[in-house]
Structure 1
Amino acid sequence: MLDSLPLSRKQIRSIADATARINIWHGAIRSGKTFASLIAFLISIAAAPSSGLIIIVGRSLQTIERNVFDPLQDEALFGPIARMVKHTRGASTAIILGRTVHLVGAADSRAEGRLRGMTCCLAYVDEATLIPRGFWNQLLGRLSVPGAKLMATTNPDNPGHWLRKEFINRAGELDLRSWQFTLDDNPALDPKYVASLKSEYTGLWYRRFILGHWVQSEGAIYETFDAQRHVVDTVPPISRWLCDAIDYGTVNPFADLLIGLGVDRSLYVVSEYRHDSRTARKQMTDSEYSQARRRWLQSVPTGGNVLGVSPEWTIVDPSASSFIEQLHRDGVQGVTPADNAVLDGIRGVAGLFAADRLKIHRSCTGLIDELPGYSWDDEAAAKGEDKPIKRDDHSCDALRYGVRTTEVLWRPHIPTLLEVAA
């Protein structure tokens, strides 16, 4: 297995030295930390005590399958050992090297209850900074078999995050070892791919996901947004009308963006509908918003003298349940709540701007006005949290809703963009 792909000295050292009670691989994306941690995990399974459970923890079963089982079952990576990893999609258990392994999703603090009563000898945690603090504490308490170990991977986060402050930075006080990786620590990557990846991240994301640094969010969120580059007067033919994406407001502005995939393999915000009740001095009902949306989409030019667009999806602020119901009543097809993973959505939009693969038609004045001032919240950052300032962000929210929720549709058509796997 170790001979099938080149390993860096840091990877080899981390595999050999992963003998502490807590072992953490952290740093840049695609830096080889996950591959090294999985090798160490397999070795630990083979040597694990016969008593006690073995568990794998992730944000969800789906992320565990993607980040852990997809590579473990890849024979190009793990050779014949991959055939000794048995897992059925959606199942909460697997067999690895003949041992039963339990899979636990930990999306919120309620997941802590899933650990109650367990006695564990080995745990592997994927994306540890996304795991609730209480769950992590409970997990450590369940690793009570003599010689029990926890192995975890993560990308860097805010330097005030509890994982860094209370564990990584206290390695000298705890039975803990950690290894920090940069993108250049992975000898298996093609140099052209590395160069492309470095060019696609900027600012906060470059420092965290390329250099592997734990740095605080500060300043403008979309540092590479440039009206000269990203605002256009004309839009190429649209090969696929992906969605209209809605940030719902009654007192606050209602913002709806029409997003399409151009024949030039870039995303375009083609048109915007926006109603600000304060400016207009008129609040609108759900029914009135639905009718206004329909009239707006019917007026969008699609080339020549043709008007009217029917996007594949209508993506709505997930908190706007009454408006979602109104759209269903009005017969709108493809209505779905938005994926509101804030940082993932911001990262996707930032990467598109950096790669010059997201353009905005000049008529979308609400979005264009908001983007330069869309900034990180300094008070939240001081508490170890990454959050945008919740002010003048309605079109920006609609943009990340649309980009994030339709990612599976546009990503195959946009080259060399934002590989976010660990």
Structure 2
Amino acid sequence: MKNSFPLSQKYIDFINTVDGVDADFLEGTTASGKTTVGAGVKFMNMVSRSSKKLHIIASRSTGTAEKNIIHSDNGILNIHKDACYYGNGDKNNKLPHIKFEGKLIYVLGYDNKDKWENVLGSQFGCVYIDEINTANIDFVREISTRNDYMMATLNPDDPNLSVYKEFINRSRPYKKYKGDVPHEIMAELKEKPVPRWRYWFFTFQDNLSLTPEMIEKKIRSAPPGTKLYKNKIQGLRGKATGLVFPNFDRKEHAVPAAWVKQQITEGKLQFKKFTAGLDTAYSTKSPDTIAMIFQGITMDRKLVTLAEKVYNNAKLQEPLAPSDTAVKFIEFLERCRAEWGFARNVFVDNADQATQTELRKCKRLHGSMYSFVDSYKKVEILDRINLQVGWIQQGCYLVVDTCTEHLSELDRYSWDEDKDKPEDRNDHTINANQYAWIPYRGMIGYEEGEA
């Protein structure tokens, strides 16, 4: 085998890292060369090294695998002249397969459960999963236990997908290349790591076949600030389409708490009003959360989300009741008062009178400086969204980067495909956030011509 394309040092290291590795996960920007080098070079090298005869390449469909992996320029057949592809099978193997060095590599579409279930009765040497983020999760779970080595590529997608928690986020990068991984993604690689599972992040710069002009053309093809730009050009996770807040950019709008405090110390940032919101959901069978948000409004009309606290009863051994939430919300407000300032009026979901009753009971029995006010919902959800989109565009909507759940919801909160309103999920910190600022919305952002 002889490559007909140049390789960056990172790709050379990736190809040569074969010992002590059970799985490689490749994520990154579009046109970074993941499929070409991953499937065409390293995967085939691992097949060659394997003592097992049976291996698998899986893609969305066999046609997709043929187009993008097998027959493409610098595809498997182009790189490996001794590999033969039988798209209709042969007399001994009815499924599409590649014959290579006496080995057999099945080519499967994970879109067809009947076909892949027929194959998965065996143990395999090497498995390659193309765009694992779009794969049938049952297929991924099944195949992950039936191989000696697995490689998967993926395009950035909704970080709430099961494949991230169960697989991708359990891998870790080598120290040498840890700095190449965007900090937003490093923060998500937090599941308990599996030894010998490796994570790789590749960009345009790792694909030496691209000229500067070609890279610039690709960058110009996606509008800056959109999720398409974040996914394809920056390689960041998040749903690509249908987002409620497509102009929210963590690089511009997420800030460290230390930076906020420094701005306050230097007199560059002054808070005029502090406020807080509480949204509740007590189900033990759903991902819905009890969300607490603390915010400040600055003299120069910026809304800054300063702190959050989130609980999910489905994950708690002892689920919270409204009485527990009341205590925890007051504790949260006190921590925020000590760190940031005093929010006298705080706003609670008016649909949850049980929690409101408990909060007022605490105030009656123990006394409290806080006024627990029912949320004001006469500002319609679409009007709230319109205000927030405008504030984000003006640079008047900032989030402290430790508010990870709120940042995650901003990346996931989407429109309902069948209705002209947002989906009823990924919105609990967003709801709490809105309860907190609605009464003070006239203090945030600029009218046209003011900025």
Query: What is the TM-score with the length of structure 2 in the denominator?
Result: 0.46
Query: What is the TM-score with the length of structure 1 in the denominator?
Result: 0.49
Greater Cα radius of gyration, structure 1 or 2: 2
